[in-house]
Amino acid sequence: MYYSIKLKIMQIFSDFFISWNGEMKIYLYKGEDALNLTNFMQIIPFLQNSKWWSRRKIVSLIQNGQIFLNNQRIESYKSELKNWDILTIINEEWNKENITISKKSESPKWKLIIFNKPKWYVVSKSDPHNVTIYELLPEEFKNRYYIGRLDKDSRGLVLLTDTPSLVHQFEHPKFQIEKEYLIQLSSPFKNGDRQKVKSWIIDEWEQLKFLDIQPTKDLLTYKVILNEWKKRHIRRVIKKLWYNLIDLQRIKEAQYTLPKDLPEGEWKCL
C-alpha cells in the first residue's frame, strides 16, 4: 500500500475526482489493495465482507455516486464484481481508494463465533463478583476475544474472534458498525419521542442518540439501530424519556445476525 498526494484538475469522472463549485481540490490517493474474490459477487455483499460496512452505508455511497467499477459509476445494487475488476470508492472524507479484485491475493481468514448470551452473565474474561460468558463456552474458546460488551441484564448476540485486529475494526467509532436490538417497553413509544432519540438526548454530559427506531408487529417492541455506542447507551436513553425497559436483546452486528434457532447459552462457528 502506498500513498501520494496528487493535484487533480477538473475532469468528467475520467480520473474519478470530485469538485465542488468548480474549485480545484487536492486528494489523498490510496494505492491499490488486492482483495480476494473467489467467485462472482454482487457489490453489497462484497463490501460488507471486505470493508465491514453496513448495507445502509453502501447504499448511501452508491446513491451519492461515490462508487465506480472499471471507470463507470455504479448504478445498480446488483452490480457484479469479477477477477481483476477495479473498484473505486470515494469515502465520506472524499478520499479515493482503488481496490483491485484478485483471486490470487489472500484475504485474512478470521474465525468468528456467534454466541447467544443469556441474561445475568457478564461479557468479561474474569469477574470476581459475577458469572462470565466464558463459563458457558468450551475450554478451547477461553482465549477468544469478545467484540463489544453486552450488559449483564441484556441478552442476545455476542461475537467472539481469535483476531485482535478484527475487534478493532468492529469497535472503533470511525468504522460506524451498525448494531440492531429489540427492546420491549411497558408502554408504547410516543411519536415525538421517536424523533427525539434520532437527534440527541443529553445524559450525564454525554450526547446519546439512535440511528433509527422502528416499530414491530408487537406494539410494545421496537427495533433500535445504533452506529455508535456508549456505556448502557440504550438503557440511558429509555430511562431519560421516562419509559420502563422490560427486555433488551441484540440481534445483529454488522452483517452477522443472531440465528433464530440458536438457544440462549449456545454458540455457533462461522
Position 150 scores a pLDDT of 93
Question: Among the CATH numbers 3.40.50.620, 3.10.290.10, 3.40.50.300, 3.30.530.50, which is that of 3-101?
Answer: 3.10.290.10
Q: Range with the lowest mean pLDDT among 95-109, 140-154, 252-266?
A: 95-109
- Of 21-30, 34-43, 94-103, 259-268, highest mean pLDDT: 259-268
Residue whose C-alpha cell reads 441484540 in the numeric block = 250
Which tens digits make up the pLDDT trace of 72-81? 898 887 788 8
More reliable by pLDDT, 53 or 140: 140
Show me where the domains of the chain are located.
3-101, 178-253
What are the φ and ψ backbone dihedral angles of 80, each rounded to 5 degrees?
Answer: -105, 145
Position 191 scores a pLDDT of 85
The mean pLDDT of 214-237, rounded to a whole number, is 93
Confidence of residue 21 (pLDDT cuts 50, 70, 90): very low
Given CATH 3.30.70.1560, say whether it is the number of domain 178-253.
yes
Buried b / exposed e along 158-177 (16+ C-beta atoms within 10 A): bbbbebeebbebbeeeebbb
**Model confidence, pTM:** 0.64
Give the C-alpha distances (Å, rounded to integers) separating 258 from 19, 32, 188, 200, 263.
42, 34, 25, 28, 10
Position 172 scores a pLDDT of 81
